[in-house]
A and B are shown apart, each in its own frame.
Chain A
Amino acid sequence: MSIGTLQFVVNKPRGPLGWWILLPILGLSSAALWWAAVGTQLSVSGLVAGLPWIGDFIGRMLPPNFAFMQKLVRPAVETVQIALWGTLLGVVLALPVCFFAARNLSPYAWVFHGLRQVLNVMRGINEIILALIFVAAVGLGPFAGVLAIAIHGAGMLGKFFAEAIEEIDEGPLDALRAAGAGTLQRIVFGVLPQVLPTWIGVVLYRFETNIRVSTVLGMVGAGGIGFELISSMKLFAYEDTAACVIVILVLVLAADLLSSKLRAMIR
């Protein structure tokens, strides 16, 4: 097909229908979106009608109660501490598992598939839900938050670690095998040098995510600044809420900046 001097260079979709395949795709996706819109009561008028209320809410938050920030230092520090240990424990849990959860290193197919499922389950449960479970187990406080982040994070890290291992160049591993190197040596000299930069990047990204997560863990009593946030809202002290939001934003932005700087350094 040509338009003037331009030529439209796109392959006709494979299959007997050719371009007509677009018709059912378009129909089905529109139907799915409509169905979901009805289900979620999507409505522009609702949003427009609600706008003044959002304005009202923001109005009550102003001016932020900067004096309240003094009381937020300790919970903010706790938030970082939860993220630190949550990330570290996640790494510790994921490390021994990831080699067996990588298709190219796993000794048996069933080990690989089984471990991937275990990681899926760990990753599938949201941190807040895990936190509720751990609060019931070890009581209110930051330790429950650490455990929640560690479990969910281990599922995430284990999968990413394993995927990094699956993407390595296997040539050096052949060379190590041909030289008679043992399993430990193959991992230390063949696998780790290839995956370490990716792994460090993943861990830093995970730490950044965990800072964000641990700012809300307090809502279910698992420590950190979220507890102050939710109680200020329950007391209708919206100026205090604003102070919490500002501190959370600073934390998240700082973590983001730090991790992207560090990730740029290891490339």
Chain B
Amino acid sequence: MIEIRGLAKSYGDHQALSGVNLSIRPGEFVVVLGPSGAGKSTLLRCINRLIEPSAGDILVDGASLSSNRRDLRLLRRNVAMIFQQHNLVKRLSVLKNVLVGRMADLSPLLSSLQLFPEADVKIALHCLEQVAMVHKARNRADALSGGEQQRVGIARALAQQPKFMLADEPVASLDPKTSRTVLTYLKKSCKDSNIAVLCNLHQIDYALEFGERIIGLSGGAIVYDGAPSGVSGDVIRSIYPGLDDPNVLDAAQRLTERRRAAGEATMTPVASEGRA
């Protein structure tokens, strides 16, 4: 269970985030929608303190974690991250990139000498299996395609065996087919390990398809927090102020209605389970 209380970040006069409250249940797949500059990235980066928030608390399993060295390590061990540009180390092998996910628990000296415990190598290989990339374990990371690199990025995050995963626009630079593959791997592998995901997306259709819960962020504040079936044209308009593209609104409306119809048919017995 991750709880965010009163999270705020300001840059000088500019308020990037103001009073964000969120609590995310174990294994939940949450999608954050919002226009560029709404504070989506800032929100994610404040949670693992890549950016130091101006105010607010981050609680992992009820324990508030501050920015001192010990808490930071604990926080980052529990919270993994996936980046838009995957941020793999290009000249290193796929396996070593995934082992980066184990680093918090490894001896700095031994790992720097390229010596890794067998158990950790096994975890890394298993994570590569989860995203079907184990056959490329010995390849250099820059020899892979964009989609493959992002799958390795997911494997690296999984290797942390986190409770919680932050995904910052993981498919923004991928084509539609690859995007779907990557999101499917992300959702499935996190479901398998009961990892909660907070995922920034730009594509409303993917958000409604993959998200179990949608957070709408606009101007640094949450304007919607609820089920995908509740995302109406009005909600879209409140998330993206000034958006008057009838195509987008229509498409969202249709997706929502279809989802609502399907949801009413299948979702009655079990709340959110088994819809991956």
Contact = CB atoms under 8 A, between A and B. Distances in A.
B108 A189 contact: no
Contacts of A193: 89-92
A52 interface: no
A177 B76 contact: yes
Contacts of A171: 83, 85-87
Interface string A160-182: 00000000010110111111111
A188 interface: yes
Contacts of A184: 108-109, 112
A169 B92 CA distance: 14
Given A188-B112, A193-B89, A175 B81 contact: yes
Interface residues of A, number: 22
Contact of A176 (B77, B90, B103, B166): B103
Nearest to B74: A180
B63 interface: no
Contacts of B91: 193-194, 196-197
A178 B111 CA distance: 17
A182 B83 CA distance: 20
Size bracket, chain B contacts: 20 to 34
Contact of B104 (A172, A174, A180, A197): A180
Nearest to B76: A180
B104 A181 contact: yes
Interface in B244-261: none
A86 interface: no
B76 to A, nearest CB: 4
B136 interface: no
B48 interface: yes
B89 A180 contact: no
B151 to A, nearest CB: 15
B100 interface: yes
A190 interface: yes
Given A179-B103, A197-B91, 9 more contacts: A175-B87, A175-B156, A178-B79, A180-B77, A185-B106, A185-B111, A189-B96, A189-B103, A193-B90
Interface of A: 169, 171-172, 174-185, 188-190, 193-194, 196-197
22 contacts: A169-B87, A171-B83, A171-B86, A172-B89, A172-B90, A175-B81, A175-B153, A176-B103, A177-B50, A178-B50, A178-B166, A180-B160, A181-B104, A182-B103, A182-B108, A185-B106, A189-B96, A189-B111, A193-B90, A194-B89, A194-B91, A197-B91
